[in-house]
Amino acid sequence: MSEEKLLEVRDLRKFFQTKAGMLHAVDGISLSLEKGKTIGVVGESGCGKSTLGRTILGLTPATSGQIIFQGEDITNLTGRKRKHLYKKMQMIFQDPSSSLDPRKNVSQLISEPMRINKVYRSKGEIADRVASLMETVGLAERFSDSYAHELDGGRRQRIGIARALSLEPEFIVCDEPVSALDVSVQAQILNLLQDLQEEKNLSYLFITHDLSVVKHISDDILVMYMGCAVELCPAKELFSHAYHPYTKGLLSAIPIPSIHVNHDSIIMEGELTSPIEPKNGCRFASRCPYAKEVCHNETPTFRAMTSGHFVACHCADDF
């Protein structure tokens, strides 16, 4: 029996006009996400991960393509329909310090989405919901009158998670939610997100540049480079049999905590391709040690190597 498909993205593109030309931030991304599952999105800084998440949520309008949520095309929704949709789709931001209003205390921060959307009739109901959310995310009641700057990074991120949960969403974009936290706190937040997913059957788009983190939480992983998808497959398969040279380079950069293992990282040299008005060809070709003439002249198609494992590489059959 197949799982229920919650989200489907079809050939999504988001371009920005600059003085130098059109910047291709997200260029032809397609993916699907089942209910209760997590798809991780990884890549270097500036590859378009966060723009992808924001475009899916409608925080920035898509240039072209389709976003299908629960069987409905939500790409160009506006007004009341868009506002209603935001109750089902939420976001956890990378930096908890800059995403929280410093003028509001913890209770006010968590209750704000509920008050704006008028989901409860009385202050008492809102207060009960805030107390419940604080307990759910592991925030002690004594912090309800505290301000975000008075708390550590882990507790601030728990506030962000509580805010995202306040409207009982079904889909959450997690935009590098642990990158600003200490390693020990990262583990706590990741475990919290997994517990909440299991308890509430949530679906995540988990954005990160850390492959160690994405391996821990994801069912499938999408690897992005310069706005494009270069590889997509189940998480376990990516770590056991990656095809794309860029993915292999990212995997080789993961540190191994042992002095007995001879670990040679793949150094990706060469100039970065400009995402502004990019020419035909593979955008990784200038840094790829396996690049052929066709790689510089023809854009590779995103094709299936095995069932459920897709890659955009002219040379993938050679590996």
Average pLDDT of span 221-246? 95
The answer to whether the CB of 29 falls within 8 A of the CB of 229 is yes
Q: What does the block give as tokens for 224?
A: 């992005």
List 27's β-bridge partners, or say none: 13
The confidence band for 252, taking pLDDT boundaries of 50, 70 and 90, is: confident
Q: What is the pLDDT of residues 254-295, one digit of tens each?
A: 666 655 555 566 667 777 888 999 999 999 999 998 999 999
The confidence band for 99, taking pLDDT boundaries of 50, 70 and 90, is: confident
How does DSSP classify residue 148?
Answer: G
Residue 145 has pLDDT above 70, yes or no: yes
- Burial status of residue 43 (CB atoms within 10 A of its CB: 0-12, 13-18, 19 or more): buried
Q: What is the pLDDT of residue 262?
A: 57
The confidence band for 95, taking pLDDT boundaries of 50, 70 and 90, is: confident
Residue 68 has pLDDT above 80, yes or no: yes
Q: What is the pLDDT of residue 94?
A: 85
Average pLDDT of span 156-163? 95
Cα distances (angstroms) measured from residue 307 to each of 1, 114, 179, 304, 311 = 17, 43, 32, 7, 11
Q: What is the pLDDT of residue 263?
A: 56
Residue 60 has pLDDT above 50, yes or no: yes
Give the contacts of 45 (CB within 8 A, at least 6 positions apart): 209
Average pLDDT of span 101-108? 96
The answer to whether the CB of 94 falls within 8 A of the CB of 176 is yes
Residue 101 has pLDDT above 50, yes or no: yes
Neighbours of 209 (CB within 10 A): 16
Q: What is the dihedral of CA 287, 175, 220, 295, to 10 degrees?
A: -20
Helix and strand counts by DSSP (H, E) for the chain: 11, 12
How does DSSP classify residue 161?
Answer: H
Average pLDDT of span 39-51? 94
Task: Provide the whole-model pTM.
Answer: 0.91
Q: What is the pLDDT of residues 167-214, one digit of tens each?
A: 999 999 999 998 878 888 888 999 999 999 999 999 999 999 888 888
The answer to whether the CB of 316 falls within 8 A of the CB of 310 is no
Count Cα neighbours of 177 within 13 Å in the Cβ-side half-sphere. Answer: 31
How does DSSP classify residue 265?
Answer: P
Q: What is the pLDDT of residue 78?
A: 82
Quote the mean pLDDT of the chain: 91
Q: Out of 41-45, 179-183, 215-219, 220-224, which region has the weakest mean confidence (pLDDT)?
A: 179-183
CA torsion sign for 100, 206, 116, 68 is positive
Q: What is the pLDDT of residue 256?
A: 63
Average pLDDT of span 139-145? 95
